[in-house]
Chain A
């Protein structure tokens, strides 16, 4: 799974209120949510993000509210990966469960600046700039999360398990 896309860079502790402000949560339509993605952190984001772009952030990305709409907004805005120094627990689970790869990188947020064209390869665990001058390390996605991502999200994963008649997930 690789793709060549642009970086949108954010700092530490980007909370889910910044990713999708509470005033927009009464409309569950993914298109509505996507049109306000990251509005609290960068008002240009929703308007200018392109299919496949990558969100790169510092520590504790997605902290605060458990709102799954944060992941829905990013995913439907076209974001292909969220790469951060660390993730808040519930956001991380939500991302994996909805099939949005959330990947830990110790250095991506320091290596890449906003707008850099990059290639992300989450299986060989590298992220490189298009011109080849910069590279960041990605940490492997834990087994369980990888299985869920490979199924396309938790619901597909459960469907598969129910079909195969496994007693539990």
Chain B
């Protein structure tokens, strides 16, 4: 009998099964669940069950981030209803308008812990795998089911082992690796599977970078993506006063459905688009595509190191005439730290516009919606047709540095022209 993967270990523990294996269906009790504006839908389904309180409100977190602050009266009403739901149902933890994006806060505030089973009513729940949790997205109605019963049926997934080795070149970032992997795997290449990251490159990769990798795994259809607990994750949790976690790692002889290796020194700055994640290639292939809007932010790339990279590119530069740069910090803390470091000042001086912490224009709700015929280069995760507004707009995905370089050039540009290690 082979050893067990992290996915198998976490789902065994949460289901009380002695040895749940890939392919088994288990009844799992999550350690932590969350939802955002769709809490409205969760509560609608939950109300049909005529229960006053969820099974364990202390394990539920609710965020207002997707249309935050409210983009219209309809959303404002939804927000108001959710605030009431949080009170009525005794929800353990609530993050209102301006606090930031759910996936960011779960990690930043150390709400999610290594080894936990985290389920969120959002497809990018995979992001919390960055701290060694098994984190998967689910729908609103099944979240209501968890509110009622504290459990959910899940299939134990097979795991793809992705080994990242070596060092990135200057001007290249975790986002470039993520776009490279998504191209290799394709939009359904990891469907129903867990991606587990390993390899020497992880020693280089911050929690923020790991969040990018796990976040973008959703674009290949992954159920979960995980960086098993290591010293970087240990340090992340050491200062927060909680001992309430223990590292979970796959056994050395665990069984994987496939293994991939990537020498990251060969990964150039990548661009993906429009419309399909697989349409990815080195930035030069997209050179000279004129850009109307450049957007930096989201659960993928709105963290401090992303804004620092953007300001490094934009120092003493101006956003090109005819192009607009929109920047949404992923959380209030990111914004505060970026102000403290002078990063926000650099971006504003360059002609950028700062919008409130939250999902911003990523899902086409507000704060930078695109017109027909417009081109946007974005640090977000989805370039689907119509995602950011008009279905006649084109969206290209790239790292924050590439987005910033493109904003300054007014066309898709290579950040390596600006960023060098010769400081």
Contacts and interface: CB of A to CB of B under 8 A. Distances in A.
Interface stretch (B184-192, B202-210, B292-300): B184-192
A18 B121 contact: no
Contacts of A40: 384-386, 391
Interface in A11-46: 13, 15, 17-18, 21-23, 25-28, 40
A13 B149 CA distance: 33
A68 B41 contact: yes
B280 to A, nearest CB: 14
Interface in B17-71: 25, 27, 38, 40-41, 44-45, 48-49, 67, 71
Contact of B151 (A13, A93, A168): A168
Interface stretch (B139-147, B159-167, B226-234, B245-253): B139-147
B148 interface: yes
Nearest to B362: A22
Sorting the interface of chain B by its residue count into under 10, 10 to 19, 20 to 34 or 35 or more gives 35 or more
Contacts of B141: 68, 94, 97-98, 153-155
A159 B145 CA distance: 10
Interface stretch (A1-9, A57-65, A107-115, A123-131): A57-65
Contact of A155 (B49, B122, B389): B49
Nearest to B151: A168
A67 interface: yes
A64 to B, nearest CB: 6
A155 B146 CA distance: 11
A66 B72 CA distance: 22
A23 B367 CA distance: 12
A28 B138 contact: no
A65 B391 CA distance: 17
A40 B149 CA distance: 36
Contacts of B25: 144
A144 B385 CA distance: 34
Interface residues of A, number: 39
Contact of B191 (A22, A67, A89): A89
B9 interface: no
Contact of B149 (A69, A93, A169): A169
B382 interface: yes
A86 interface: yes
B321 interface: no
B89 interface: no
B139 A68 contact: yes
Give the interface centre of A86, A90, A144 by most chain B CB atoms within 10 Å. Answer: A90
B139 A90 contact: yes
Give the interface centre of B49, B72, B78, B384 by most chain A CB atoms within 10 Å. Answer: B384
A89 B221 contact: yes
B365 interface: yes
A1 to B, nearest CB: 21
Contact of B74 (A17, A27, A97): A27
B279 to A, nearest CB: 11
A88 interface: yes
A125 to B, nearest CB: 21
Contacts of A64: 123, 382, 384
Contacts of B74: 26-27
B14 interface: no
Contact of A93 (B45, B139, B276, B391): B139
B123 A97 contact: no
B363 interface: yes
Contacts of A155: 45, 48-49, 141, 144-145
A63 B188 contact: yes
A169 B55 CA distance: 14
A76 to B, nearest CB: 14
B212 to A, nearest CB: 18
A18 B75 CA distance: 21
B41 A144 contact: no
B142 A21 contact: no
23 contacts: A18-B384, A21-B391, A22-B364, A27-B74, A28-B44, A40-B384, A40-B391, A59-B188, A64-B384, A65-B123, A66-B122, A66-B137, A66-B139, A88-B191, A89-B191, A90-B139, A93-B138, A94-B139, A144-B25, A144-B153, A159-B48, A162-B148, A169-B145
Interface of B: 25, 27, 38, 40-41, 44-45, 48-49, 67, 71-72, 74-75, 78, 121-123, 137-142, 144-145, 148-149, 151-153, 187-188, 191-192, 221, 223, 276, 363-365, 369, 382, 384-387, 389, 391
Interface of A: 13, 15, 17-18, 21-23, 25-28, 40, 59-60, 63-69, 71, 86, 88-90, 93-94, 97-98, 144, 153-155, 158-159, 162, 168-169
Given A40-B386, A97-B139, 17 more contacts: A13-B276, A17-B385, A22-B364, A26-B67, A28-B40, A60-B187, A60-B191, A60-B221, A68-B38, A68-B41, A88-B191, A89-B191, A89-B221, A155-B49, A155-B145, A162-B49, A168-B149
| 8 tightest A-B CB contacts, nearest first | A60-B188, A94-B139, A22-B364, A22-B363, A66-B123, A17-B384, A68-B140, A97-B141
